[in-house]
Homo-oligomer: A and B are copies of this chain.
């Protein structure tokens, strides 16, 4: 289910936030590229590439924060570098990340939820299944170099 730009904008409006060009631009990019691993840097680059919509770095971060506050967006740390952002509605999947090439793969839901439940019961933590990444070595890198 894809969220469109308007949905994001409306959600911001419902939070009492003002709708500005910069926010429209960021929402538009986030909505359009919802299936990718968006980093703040790539969003920034795309916003600044559009002469009609340029927004400053700090504005991009502040907008991403606002979207997170509103519960529409989540970020996760997939590796050593920058955080990646996804729509909260799509954040139901987890990732394994290759620690050599950065390739990611989706973690199959099977088995995960039982384990998370168990983890939650044992530790008392309310585990957030959207904010973690698992590292490993992808099949390609594993064969390329033992």
Contacts and interface: CB of A to CB of B under 8 A. Distances in A.
Nearest to A118: B111
Given A96-B123, A118-B111, A123-B105, A132 B131 contact: no
A80 interface: yes
Contact of A119 (B119, B131, B134, B139): B134
Interface in A92-106: 96, 98-99, 105-106
Contacts of A96: 119, 123, 125, 127
A127 B132 contact: no
A50 interface: no
Given A108-B122, A132-B133, 9 more contacts: A108-B123, A110-B122, A111-B119, A124-B139, A125-B136, A125-B137, A127-B136, A128-B136, A132-B132
